[in-house]
Homo-oligomer: A and B are copies of this chain.
Amino acid sequence: MDAKSISLADLARKIGGELVGDGSRTISAVRPFDEAGGTDLTFLDHKNAKMVAALPTSKAGAVIVNKSLALPAGLNAIRIDPPHLGLARSLAVLHRRPRPELGVSPASRLGSGVTLGERVNVYPGAYLGDGVRVGDDTDILPGAYLGDGTSIGSCCVIHPHVTIYGNCQIGNRVTIHAGAVIGADGFGYVPEPRDDGPSEPFRHAKIPQIGGVVIEDDVEIGANTTIDRATLAATIIGRGTKIDNLVMIGHNCTVGRHTIIVAQAGISGSTDLGDYVTIAGQAGLVGHITVGDRAVITAKAGVTKDVEADKVMIGAPAMDIHEGRLAFKLLQRLPDFKKKIEDLLRRVKLIEDSAGGAGEEKKPE
């Protein structure tokens, strides 16, 4: 539908891969392995044994594959390592969609003092508050909300029903998926005494959150993720960082550059992540800690302390992976330990009994 056509040789050159076979073949789309036909490129995961076995029967015009896999004779291919990079680039070449030229829909609502760059699309139902600034070539989709004083860079896509509260700063080439909420109030309260009798000794007084959120360039944020505004300063997401769906990032956090945060992970307030950190799915971090560069927090881990650079943490409470794996291995040996302890108890009892006095049953003579 939105695909173009290109010769296999040209495609190989464009994506930086090595051509195998007939370079004159026309390729017009990337399609799934099972469905690819003569003008389609498909992707072969060399770690997927089923796919590799099925390769001789593939009807695809060509495959993207890693450099070392042996290929059936006559198969056209582009070799590239890692092959996923070839996939990413081929999709970008063949399936890039042109942006429509909509301009500003009369069914959108722009506040006073809004500044728009060139070729900005503002869809029906979008709301831009007073003083909002939007860079060139940015799309604001239906129902997206940008609060007063928020700025967005160029080449961004703000998907439907995204809410960006006021006074947040979004960089260039940032994509925010549907339903994400940027800049809601951080979760900050302080107990304040009440006069309402012994059953209600205090209430939780709100600490107003007047800081902002800064999202640097090339960040992508998943659907229904929430990133809270800081109390006084800013919650910061470093450039190139990618955040999946339903992630929670608390107020005052600083997330480094090129960090990956997988779905449903949660980072409590005032915690700082370094560069190239990985936070896997459903992991959770307490507040006020620091995670060093390139550290990996595995799925469902619960991190309660600072993590040094390059460490891999597992479990809840999280342990270094070596320690944690040992603990888990020993856990599985508990039935064996139980048996050995029972065996020892029996044998020691036998020794004590036969010695007629040695050990446990020994009485003063």
Interface positions of A (Cβ within 8 A of B): 1, 30-32, 34-35, 42-43, 82, 84-85, 87-89, 91-92, 95-96, 107, 109, 123-125, 127, 141-143, 145, 149, 159-161, 163, 165, 175, 177-179, 181, 184-185, 187-192, 199-200, 202-208, 210-211, 218, 220, 222-224, 226, 228, 231-233, 240, 242, 244-246, 248, 250, 257-258, 260, 262-264, 266, 268, 275, 281-282, 284, 286, 299-300, 302, 316-317, 326-328, 330-335, 337-338, 340-341, 344-345, 347-348, 350-352, 354-355, 357-360, 362
Contacts of A187 in B (CB 8 A): 222, 242, 244-245, 262-263
Give bound CA distance, A348 to B350, whole Å: 11
In the A-B complex, the 8 residue pairs with the closest CB atoms: A163-B178, A181-B223, A330-B334, A84-B190, A91-B208, A32-B233, A354-B358, A184-B223
Give bound CA distance, A359 to B335, whole Å: 23
Give bound CA distance, A295 to B190, whole Å: 18
Contacts of A206 in B (CB 8 A): 88, 220
The answer to whether B87 touches A109 (Cβ under 8 A) is no
Contacts of A192 in B (CB 8 A): 85, 88
Give bound CA distance, A87 to B131, whole Å: 28
Q: A181-B223, A246-B226 are in contact. Are A145 and B145 (CB under 8 A)?
A: no
Please name the residue on chain B nearest to A284 by beta carbon.
B282
Q: List 25 contacting pairs A-B, 8 Å CB cutoff, sorted by A.
A: A32-B232, A34-B233, A82-B191, A84-B207, A88-B190, A88-B207, A96-B208, A125-B127, A127-B160, A161-B163, A177-B185, A178-B184, A187-B222, A187-B242, A187-B245, A187-B262, A189-B260, A203-B258, A204-B258, A263-B266, A281-B284, A300-B316, A326-B335, A348-B359, A351-B359
Give bound CA distance, A88 to B190, whole Å: 8
Give bound CA distance, A203 to B330, whole Å: 39
The answer to whether B189 touches A165 (Cβ under 8 A) is no
The answer to whether A160 touches B178 (Cβ under 8 A) is no
A221 → chain B closest CB, angstroms = 10
Cβ-defined partner of A355 (8 Å) among B181, B284, B358: B358
Cβ-defined partner of A240 (8 Å) among B96, B204, B327, B352: B204
The answer to whether A200 touches B258 (Cβ under 8 A) is yes
Please name the residue on chain B nearest to A357 by beta carbon.
B354
The answer to whether B340 touches A330 (Cβ under 8 A) is no
Contacts of A109 in B (CB 8 A): 107, 124-125, 142
Cβ-defined partner of A178 (8 Å) among B84, B165, B264: B165
The answer to whether A95 touches B208 (Cβ under 8 A) is yes
A67 → chain B closest CB, angstroms = 15
Give bound CA distance, A357 to B123, whole Å: 91
Contacts of A245 in B (CB 8 A): 181, 184, 187, 226, 228, 248
A339 → chain B closest CB, angstroms = 10
Contacts of A188 in B (CB 8 A): 84, 88
